[in-house]
Structure 1
C-alpha cells in the first residue's frame, strides 16, 4: 500500500510535465494570427543580423524577391559591396547643409566611435546617399561608400526648413531608395543622418515583423499602431510584401500632396495592416530615443534622434549635450 501511494505523486508529475510539453509545442507552432503568437515571439526574442539560427535564416529568406533589373547599376554595385553577409545594408542620406564641417555628418560618424558593442564595424556596411555635389565631395573625404543621387531635379542642398516643399521632396526620396534596395534583394536599416548611434540598434529588431520602425511616442505594445511612428529609423526585409507596401506608400502621396512620408505612413498605417497583413514592430523610445518622449536611461539607450526640435543649430546643440552625457556615463562605468 505504501508503495502504491509513493507512485501516485510521480504519476501526477509525469502527467503535468506531459501537458506542459504539449502546451509548449502548441504555442510555438501557432501561426502569426493567433493571439498567443506574441508569447512565442517574446520567448524566442528579437535578434538582429549576424545572430542568425536556422529558423531565423528561414524567416529572413522566405518569400524574398530575386534581384530585379535596375536603371541605377552604380547604386546596386555599391550596396552589394557594403552589404553584410546576410545581405543587409545600412542607408542614410545627406545634403550640403547637413554635411558642412562640424555639422550632422561629422556628429553622426563620430557617434559610432563613441559607442559600445564595437559598432564602428557597422560603418563598413553604411552607404551614404548625397543629395548634391558638395555633400558628395564631403562624404568621400570621410567615408568609403558614398553615392551621388543624380536623378532628383530639384535643389536639395540647403537646410530645407521643416515642411517646406523642398523638405518634403527630400524626405520622399528615401522611400524610393528603400524600394530600390529591396528590389535588389537586400534588407536595409535606414537611419536619418541626425540619429546618433551609441549601441547596435539591430539588437532591437524582431525578425518576425515585416517592418521595424522607430517611435515618436511609444505606448507599451510594440505591435500597436497607436504608437506614433518615426521613420528616422526603419528596417525592412526584401520580401514581395514589403515592396508592394512601399509602392502603396509612395502612391499614397497623391492623396496627401503636402505631407511628408512619415505623416502619410501614419494616415495609411491601418490600410497597410489590413490590405497586406503587414506586421510592424514599433521600437520603444527607451531604446531608440528622441526629444518627443524624452528618456535618457543610458543603460538602455541605443540611438538618439533629435526629432521634435526645429532648426539645424538647435539639433546640433542638443546632440552635443547628449553626446557629452553619454561619454560621462561610459567613463563612470569604466571607473566602477
Structure 2
C-alpha cells in the first residue's frame, strides 16, 4: 500500500509539464524568466491599449474640424493660406450628409465662399445666431456648410463640424459675387443644380443663405403638406398665393419625385430666361402648368416668421429667421446683421411680461435698403444677398 502511494506521486517522463520544468530551475534563472515574462506582458498591454484608443476614437474624430480635436489650435485666417494649403474632401458628400442628417433624413445646408468666410464676417454672425437663438443651438449638429472655394473650405473646417468642398472647374467663386454679375449668376445656378443632387440622394433639406440669422427653431412653422416651401421678399397674406415674391435664400424641400422633377425644370429654365438668376426664374415658372402636372405642392412662408430687410418680421415673439436681403455691399450687410443680433440679444434680456407686449422692434434696415439697390442700377427689385 505504501509502495503504491509512492508510485502515484513520483514524476515520470510522460507527465513532465512546463510547470514541472519551471519548478526544477535554480533560483537565479527563475527570476530572469519572471522579468522577461513581465516585460513581454507589459509591452503587449501597452500596444493593445494604444490600438484600442486609436481605432475606438476614429469614428468620433473623423468629421470634427481641427479646432474641435485640438481646442488650443489658433484660428486659420484665409489670408494666411496659400496654394500649398489647398484642402480637399476627405469624405464623400453622401457620407457627410448621413452623419449630419436628422432621423427623417433632413439636413440644413448653406453655401460659403472666401468673401463671406473671413473672421468676424458673415459666417461667424450666422453661426452666432444659432448659438443664441431659441432652441437653435442643437440644429448646428445638422448643418452642412458647402464651401465654394478652397479657402472657404479651410476656414469651415476650423469653425464647424460638417464641411464639403464643391469645386467648379469653369468658375472661381472665392471673391464677393455682386448682384447680377456673371459670377453671381453662375454661383446661383450652381447652387440649384447641387440642391437637386441632394434631393436625388434621398435627403430633405432646409437651404439657408449664410446672411440669414436663425433666432428660433423654424421647423414648427413649416407646412407639413408641402413638397417645396420658400421664404418671401413680400408676403401677400396667403401661403398659397402665387403673387407672393419668393426669395431663394431660404427654403425647405422634401425629397420625392415631384421635388426632383421640379428642380430639374427650374435649372433647365435658365436657358429659356437667359441672364436672369434663379429667384427671378422661379417667379416666371411658379405658375407654369408643368408644376401642376407633376403635382408639386408649393407653399410660401409668412414674413411674420421668416422675415428680412425687405419686409421685417414685426413681432420678435414670432420671428424664426431674419434675412439681410434687399442689401447691396458687404459693409452694409455686416452693419445691419450686427444690429439685428444686438436687437435679439436685448429682446432676450426682457422679462416675459415685456416680451409679450412686443415693446421693441428691429432697428434695421439702416445701411441696407431697396433704395441702395436702385442706386446701383440693379435690373430687378426681387433680390437676395450679394
For normalisation by structure 2, the TM-score amounts to 0.66
* Aligned counterpart, 1:230: 247
Conserved in 2, the CA contact under 8 Å of 1:182 and 1:243? yes
Displacement, 1:203? 1.5
Matching residue of 2:130: 112
Q: 2:199 aligns with which of 177, 182, 186?
A: 182
**Equivalent in 265, 279, 282 of residue 262 of structure 1:** 279
Q: Quick one: distance in 2 between partners of 1:275 and 1:330?
A: 46
Deviation at 1:151, TM superposition (A): 3.2
More deviation in 127-136 or 200-209? 200-209
Residue 132 in 1 paired to residue 149 in 2?
Answer: yes
- C-alpha contact 1:213 1:283 (8 A) present in aligned 2: yes
1:327 corresponding residue in structure 2:
345
Shift of 1:319: 0.8
Structure 1 residue 292 displacement after superposition: 1.1
**Structure 2 residue matching 1:175: 3-state secondary structure:** helix
Deviations 1:129-153 (A, max 9, x none): 0000110011000001000112342
Q: 1:88 to 1:232 in 2, by over 3 A?
A: same
> C-alpha displacement at 1:237, in angstroms?
0.9
Superposition pairs of residues 204-215 of structure 1, within 5 angstroms:
204-215=221-232
SS of the residue corresponding to residue 351 of structure 2 reads: helix
Cα pair 2:306 2:313 within 8 Å, conserved: no
Q: Relative CO higher for 1 or 2, CA cutoff 8 Å, sep ≥ 6?
A: 1
Q: 1:222-245 deviations in whole A, cap 9, x for unaligned?
A: 011111001111111111011000
* Structure 1 equivalent of residue 184 of structure 2: 167
Which ranges in structure 2 are unaligned for 5 or more consecutive residues?
A: 1-89, 355-386
For the residue of structure 2 that corresponds to 1:106, the secondary structure is helix
Residues 1:194 and 2:211 aligned together: yes
Query: 1:300-325: per-residue Cα shift (whole Å, max 9, x none)?
Result: 11100010111111111001111111
Q: Which runs of 5+ in 1 are unaligned?
A: 1-71
- Per-residue CA deviations over 1:261-282 (Å, capped at 9, x if unaligned) read 1111111000153332322111
1:168-194 Cα shifts (integer Å, max 9, x gaps) = 111112211211111111100100011
Q: Tell me, in whole angstroms, the C-alpha distance in 1 between the residues paired with 2:252 and 2:155.
A: 26
1:83-102 equivalences under 5 Å are 83-102=101-120
Deviates more, 1:316-325 or 1:152-161: 152-161
Q: CA RMSD in A?
A: 1.5
SS of residue matched to 1:101: coil
Query: CA–CA distance in 2 between the matches of 1:230 and 1:150?
Result: 25
Q: How far did residue 77 of structure 1 move? A: 1.1
How far is the alpha carbon of 1:257 from its aligned partner?
1.7
2:263 alignment partner in structure 1: 246
Cα distance in 2 for residues equivalent to 1:87 and 1:201: 17
Q: Among residues 168, 177, 180, which one is paired with 1:151 in the alignment?
A: 168
1:278 corresponds in structure 2 to 296
Q: Is the 8 A contact 2:231 2:300 kept in 1?
A: yes
Q: How far apart, in 2, do the equivalents of 1:333 and 1:257 lie?
A: 52
Contact 1:289 1:304 in 2 (8 A): yes
| Bigger radius of gyration among the two | 2
When the two structures are aligned, how many residues end up with a matched partner? 264
1: distance between equivalents of 2:291 and 2:263? 13
SS at match of 1:162: coil
Partner SS, residue 314 of structure 2: coil
Q: 1:10-40 CA distances to partner (integer Å, 9 max, x unpaired)?
A: xxxxxxxxxxxxxxxxxxxxxxxxxxxxxxx
Counterpart in the other structure of 2:139: 122
- 8 Å contact 2:216–2:319 — kept in the other structure? yes
- Give the whole-Å Cα distance in 1 for the aligned partners of 2:351 and 2:128: 20
- Alpha-carbon distance in 2 for matches of 1:333, 1:256: 51
Q: Secondary structure at the match of 1:270?
A: coil
Give TM-score scaled by structure 1 length.
Answer: 0.76
* 1:218 pairs with 2:238: no
